[in-house]
Amino acid sequence: MKGRRDLLRLGAGGLALLAGCGPRDVGRRDDVIRLWVAPNEAEEAFWKVAVARWNAEKRGLPVSFTTIPTAGNSEDTVLSALVAGTEPDLCTNIFSGFAVQLAALGQVVDLAAMPGYAELIARRRMEAVVPGWTQGGRVAALPIYSSPTLIWWRADLLEAAGLSAPPATYDEVYRFAGRYARPGARYAMQVVAGRSWQDRWFDFISFYYAASGGRPYLDGARALYADAAGLAAATFIDRMFRQGWTALDFDAAEPLVTGLAAGAVRGPWDVERYARTYPDTLARIAVGPVPAQGGGAGRGSTFSDAKGIVIFRSSRVRGQAFDFLSWVLGDEALNLFWLRRTGLSPARGDLLTNPRFAGYYRANPMARAYAEHVATARPPALSEYTIDVQKIMTSRLVEPLMTGASSPAAALADAVSRTDRMLEAQT
Amino acid sequence: MRSGRPPFRNRLSREAVVSLSLAGAYLIFSAVFWAYPFLWLARLSVTQWRFFDEPVFTGARNLIRTVQDPQFLLSLWNVVRFLLFYLPIAVGGALLVAFGLRHVGRGKAFVALCFLLSNVSSGVAMALVFTKIFSTTGPLNAWLFDWTGIRIPWTNDPTLAMLAIALVVAWKFVGYYGLILYSGLLAVPGEIYDAARLDRAGPLTRLLRITMPMLNAQLMMVLVFAILVSFGLFTEPFLITGGGPSDGTATPQMLIYETAFRRLQPSHAATMSILVSVVSYALIAVLRRLFERKVVLA
């Protein structure tokens, strides 16, 4: 009997050990600021220098950084760390929708309430950028960089069709498509970016922002895109498919490289990829705006795939962490160094007027094209329900337009009413 | 004060100690990687928890919410649609592999290993390759367009997309299932076929009256594996179709992943996973009852 009891005790001990694997404060320190950064070579190189400078100048608590320990995506890793209690004090690479989810769960600090916030916004000239990251006066994450989406066109194909500059309006795209496209063989433009919910940022949402001048497509529990701009964007997508000027997908190969499509939505992150893999194609690329209706108020607006930095509520060094964040974001020399290392434009509104950045943009016309849109590019809607909103957008709006199953107006109305119902049910 | 009984260790025979040690490794493994997560899952399914707060008991609320969730019901229906394509393709292909292997003379092991290669290949790599193959601008459609002037929207029509995924998954598993059936074929005594030939039974009669009934155990095994694969589908639809079009290839596993880690609703996801297990086991039980036969050689 005693033996059995021993065995039971052993088992109970094991279970207790397992139970101890639950969330708790692990390694929470107040003598160092722990920072996680995006796991890519360029960003890591920036943070290495920035952190070394901060520590060498003894500006505050020392900072220790590591890349986000992920093999897949950052959100899963951050979430696991939060549950396990192993999250750092600061974390970069946070997409705005995820920041809103973390804020709703009470896991991140409201940066707008931190002392020195207003000074940082003014010093970094973020007045035009920060409204897209503000919800109810609260800021869960501050954008480090802003990557607007623009259209890459094969300049040689445009020239062969008699165009000296990239098309900027729907009518210009239609005219070019009429000359270049051969249904089934080659297409004017890749209109739909893909099938997953994230792809909507790179097609309908980009088109909507361009058509609306950057108006939000979502406001709390209501979808806003059933308006003239939404109809214009949906009609553009519909017409491109109905005329055979675009294909259902371009999964087989890079369409710009093969010339299967003369234009496609691309971000600044593609510049380095093309420079490495398709340098010949990159040399023939002309960058144009996301098309909108002629004379529309929205010319120049587009979607911004920006990533931000958060301070976790569990941090014991919030104030010092914000001091570091404020220094690293607000220092112009560091912003320029970031730009040189990563090629991604810092999320500030004076990129083209500040002489410190002039040299870089003079030497990099493609980067300049993106910089021109940083102030007017808009991030995704700040919603906890991004996935559901964009899944509905996919299945009820974009897919019916691709196949011709619905008219633009009907698809738009259906998508918006379903989104509203879904949001109403959630809140 | 000492008890008169010998110490616990002395009372266990050497054989018992060895057995306990061997079983203990498995029991600890199961406790850590099966029982503990399962208990958490069960707890989550009857509570409301969003990763950082304490779970609050909510009774059957998650269950009611899940059985009324149209996305969840659609994902279960998608599994049925997948099985309708997958079972004939995978079982038919596996039978061809098994019968084919019977006629291979030299290098049988090499041929069998070749069939298994697809099974051990990376699902992610395969999905990426098939995404290109099935693309409307891909090589398959380019060839079709050149010959017939038409393109098949493999991944843009809900039915064709499901067929495409069934083909990819069948390609992965057909060799594995084929080897299972081949082992069954080897176990069928040749004398039965000799007797049937004496009775003038034709090839079709021998197939339907002897081979298939004698393969019942292996076929049931393949059926069970196929159902488990169907309810566990994630990589192929996630990468090839993203669950579309019109959520027509969204699977329960994709929904569970999105619900837990993208919508941050682990309690809802836990209930879904329990329901998926129950449905898959129920389906297996029904099919076994309907089709499983005990084969006895008199």
**pLDDT tens for each residue of B82-93:** 999 999 999 999
Taking the Cβ of residue B69 and every Cβ of chain A, the question of whether any pair is shorter than 8 Å is answered with no
CA-based nearest distance B172→chain A, Å: 21
Residues in CB range of A243: below 8 A, 6 or more apart: A174, A177, A178, A181, A183
CB-based contact A387:B263 (threshold 8 Å):
yes
Q: Nearest CA to B219 among B231, B229, B211?
A: B211
Cβ contacts from A onto B, under 8 A:
97
Handedness of CA A280, A286, A289, A294 (dihedral sign): negative
Residue B96, CA atoms < 13 Å, CB-side half-sphere: 10
Using CA atoms of A397, A403, A408, A412 in order, give the dihedral in degrees to the nearest 10. Answer: -10
pLDDT of residue A145: 93
Of the partner residues B50, B52, B241, the one whose CB lies closest to the CB of residue A195: B241
pLDDT of residue B269: 95
Spell out which residues of chain B touch residue A249, defining contact as CB-CB under 8 Å. 135-137, 155-156
CB atoms B31 and A15 under 8 Å: yes
Interatomic CA distance for residues B126 and A123, integer angstroms: 50
Q: Please state the rounded mean pLDDT for residues B204-232.
A: 94
CB-based contact B154:A264 (threshold 8 Å):
no
Token readout for B40 is: 């958490």
**Hey, which residues does A186 pair with through a beta bridge?**
A182
CA-based nearest distance B22→chain A, Å: 15
CB atoms A399 and B51 under 8 Å: no
CB atoms B51 and A82 under 8 Å: yes
pLDDT of residue B8: 59
- DSSP string of chain B, one letter each residue: ---SSPPHHHHS-HHHHHHHHHHHHHHHHHIIIIIHHHHHHHHHHTEE--SSS--EE-TTHHHHHHHT-HHHHHHHHHHHHHHHHHHHHHHHHHHHHHHHHHT--TTHHHHHHHHHHHHHS-HHHHHHHHHHHHSTTSHHHHHHHHHHS----TTTSHHHHHHHHHHHHHHHHHHHHHHHHHHHHHTS-HHHHHHHHHTT--HHHHIIIIIHHHTHHHHHHHHHHHHHHHHT--HHHHHHTTT-STTTT--HHHHHHIIIIIS--HHHHHHHHHHHHHHHHHHHHHHHHHH-------
- Please give the domain boundaries of chain A with CATH numbers for all domains: 33-147+305-378 (3.40.190.10), 150-303+385-426 (3.40.190.10)
- Helices B70-102 and B158-186 pack at an angle, to 10 degrees, of 40
Spell out which residues of chain B touch residue A15, defining contact as CB-CB under 8 Å. 31
Mutate to test the interface with A, among B262, B265, B268 (most CBs of A within 10 A): B262
pLDDT of residue B115: 82
pLDDT of residue A12: 47
CB-based contact B259:B272 (threshold 8 Å):
yes
What is Dmax (Cα atoms) for chain B?
Answer: 95
Interatomic CA distance for residues A148 and A269, integer angstroms: 10
- Print pLDDT tens along chain A (427 aa): 444 454 445 444 444 444 444 444 555 667 899 999 998 888 999 999 999 999 999 998 999 999 998 766 788 889 888 888 889 999 999 988 889 989 988 999 999 999 999 999 999 999 988 988 998 899 999 999 999 999 999 999 999 999 999 999 999 999 999 999 998 889 999 999 998 899 999 999 999 999 999 999 998 789 999 999 999 999 999 999 999 999 999 998 899 999 999 999 999 989 989 999 999 999 999 999 999 987 554 457 999 988 899 999 999 999 999 999 999 999 999 999 999 999 899 999 899 999 999 999 999 999 999 999 988 899 999 888 888 999 999 999 999 999 999 999 999 999 999 999 999 987 6
pLDDT at B287 over 70: yes
Token readout for B26 is: 């498995």
Spell out which residues of chain B touch residue A194, defining contact as CB-CB under 8 Å. 242
Taking the Cβ of residue B262 and every Cβ of chain A, the question of whether any pair is shorter than 8 Å is answered with yes
CATH number of B72-291: 1.10.3720.10
**pLDDT tens for each residue of B23-51:** 999 999 999 999 998 898 999 999 998 88
**pLDDT tens for each residue of B59-79:** 999 999 999 999 999 999 999
Q: Nearest CA to B92 among B181, B191, B13?
A: B181
pLDDT of residue A22: 47
CA-based nearest distance A195→chain B, Å: 6
Instruction: Give, rounded to a whole angstrom, the gap between the first and last alpha carbons of chain A.
Output: 56
Domain positions in chain B: 72-291
Interatomic CA distance for residues B152 and A2, integer angstroms: 72
Interatomic CA distance for residues A347 and A129, integer angstroms: 7
Angle at B37 between CA B223 and CA B60, to 5 degrees: 85
Which chain A residues have any C-beta within 8 angstroms of a chain B C-beta? Answer: 2-3, 6, 14-15, 18, 23, 75-76, 79, 82-83, 101, 105-107, 184, 194-197, 199, 247-253, 255, 260, 384-385, 387-388, 391, 394-395, 399, 402-403
**Hey, which residues does A151 pair with through a beta bridge?**
A265, A288
Spell out which residues of chain B touch residue A391, defining contact as CB-CB under 8 Å. 243, 247
pLDDT of residue A254: 93
Q: Nearest CA to A304 among A347, A249, A363, A361?
A: A347
Which 8-state DSSP code applies to residue A141? -
3-state secondary structure of A302: strand
Residues in CB range of B33: below 8 A, 6 or more apart: none
Q: Nearest CA to B211 among B177, B178, B175, B186?
A: B186
CA-based nearest distance B119→chain A, Å: 23
pLDDT of residue B10: 62
pLDDT of residue B4: 55
Interatomic CA distance for residues B230 and B224, integer angstroms: 10
Interatomic CA distance for residues A167 and A150, integer angstroms: 12
Interatomic CA distance for residues A47 and A37, integer angstroms: 8
Most confident of B19-23, B247-251, B292-296: B247-251
